[in-house]
Structure 1
């Protein structure tokens, strides 16, 4: 009898992440989810400020706040994407989901040690620490809403649209290392951006168009046929656009 592969998916949840998780669960019956708790805003902001300074951090925070005012408009577009692609944005019924403190928490590591997965897949969770990575003996893959390495980090779809770089709008599955989306690329889905997308809908649109890519990447990981490669694209870590960039791009280019 063929052994059913064990896959642990670590995620913080959210619509686009559940689309990816559900695609894996529908293909691989041995999928189990470790759902990490939300990170506090103060911890998030302090960490961001250490990287880019408080002025940029404040600008990015205001963008996140302002974009939320358009949530009702974004919801209409979200509903269109869900209907067009027959998406499920909540955990599938019967999918095993276990809450953990964080991807780097002792409880998460204990579960990984107990389950002995054949592959760990990340979809919208905290970065894994070096200690956590060292403790995982199987392949670790990450789903990223952006084309690496040019759009590492956050809001990759918005930056691609905002700079007119439509040929590099899409998603990436890559090996996980200690950097921010810096691991070698397993596969990528290059998509055509819909002009109706926004900062709030890019990730869902990308997830809708990259489910087959995700399943293929995991199949490669389980079969030992991964052929990760580097890219000739420039490597840039992105963050949410600061409010002055967001408003200028929206008003001048119509890219929100």
Structure 2
């Protein structure tokens, strides 16, 4: 599909909660160009993590990842109810410009960004940009993260806030992208509450439902040259998927799934 003229490029792997955010930006700010990367293989992801954390932890995380995927299918009705209730658009709009690339770090992605010359690149649900890739993007790069940074960097920020008893930090952040894992300066944050029947399979969708406005506001501000960071005043920690044994034990003990 021929790309539309737009000051906004979104780089993503896709997914219902991400399309809800993208479509909110389109509704408020006009057309965007979406660069859709091929998801990283689970094998590559797990091998990389195993080098840092060891195979026992990584195998446990894989168990939870599989359970989460099964949960999305089993509780699809719950997701459909949330989507209808929150009036989310979770599929690409007709005519949406989509450019397919093998990876956000592939030359094809950089070539597309250079050709489109956007005023902002908005990352949402894609792999981490390498330092080299980031250095070759001429405009500001921001990221939508499903967690309150810097306290809940990495994976499953909403889940970890809940199991930590930190319910006031069940939320999301739009932040500037640097070479670290969600370590860039925060631009906007939104906090909300999980709904009845929510679990690790639906937290991302719930978080997107109350975070669409901050995504629109952050992109609008960057395009207007207003790049002002905030200090959440929180400690910094990176999180990963919970292991299957931690997830099941914690769920049985606390009712947080």
TM-score by length of 2: 0.95
Check the 8 A contact 1:176/1:182 in 2, yes or no. yes
SS at match of 2:75: helix
Change (3 A) 1:72 1:135: closer
Q: Which residue of 2 aligns with 1:23?
A: 24
Check the 8 A contact 2:120/2:223 in 1, yes or no. yes
Q: List per-residue Cα deviations over 1:93-132 (Å, max 9, x = no partner).
A: 1110110111110000011111111110000001011111
Check the 8 A contact 1:5/1:222 in 2, yes or no. no
Q: Which residue of 2 aligns with 1:66?
A: 67
Deviation of residue 28 (structure 1)? 2.3
Deviation of residue 195 (structure 1)? 4.2
Check the 8 A contact 1:186/1:226 in 2, yes or no. yes
Q: Which residue of 2 aligns with 1:134?
A: 135
The CA distance in 2 between the partners of 1:235 and 1:117, in whole Å, is: 31
Deviation of residue 82 (structure 1)? 0.3
TM-score by length of 1: 0.95
Q: List per-residue Cα deviations over 1:62-105 (Å, max 9, x = no partner).
A: 11123334334421221121011111111111110110111110
1:169 paired to 2:158: no
The CA distance in 1 between the partners of 2:156 and 2:27, in whole Å, is: 27
Deviation of residue 214 (structure 1)? 0.5
Q: Which residue of 2 aligns with 1:109?
A: 110
After superposing the two structures, state which structure 1 stretch, 46-55 or 126-135, moved more. Answer: 46-55
Aligned ranges 1:186-225 → 2 under 5 Å = 186-225=187-226
Extract unaligned runs of 5+ from structure 1.
none
The CA distance in 1 between the partners of 2:128 and 2:70, in whole Å, is: 28
Q: Which residue of 2 aligns with 1:159?
A: 160
After superposing the two structures, state which structure 1 stretch, 59-68 or 15-24, moved more. Answer: 59-68
Check the 8 A contact 1:145/1:172 in 2, yes or no. yes
Aligned residues between the structures: 253
Q: Which residue of 2 aligns with 1:55?
A: 56
Q: Which residue of 1 aligns with 2:180?
A: 179
SS at match of 1:173: strand
Q: Which residue of 1 aligns with 2:145?
A: 144
Q: List per-residue Cα deviations over 1:204-227 (Å, max 9, x = no partner).
A: 000011101110001110001121
Check the 8 A contact 1:74/1:198 in 2, yes or no. no
SS at match of 2:33: strand
The CA distance in 1 between the partners of 2:31 and 2:117, in whole Å, is: 12
The CA distance in 1 between the partners of 2:227 and 2:75, in whole Å, is: 37
Q: Which residue of 2 aligns with 1:236?
A: 237
Deviation of residue 143 (structure 1)? 0.1
Query: Post-superposition, which runs of at least 4 consecutive aligned residues in structure 1 deviate over 4 A?
Result: none
Check the 8 A contact 1:5/1:28 in 2, yes or no. no
Check the 8 A contact 2:6/2:33 in 1, yes or no. no
The CA distance in 2 between the partners of 1:162 and 1:196, in whole Å, is: 16
The CA distance in 1 between the partners of 2:224 and 2:31, in whole Å, is: 15
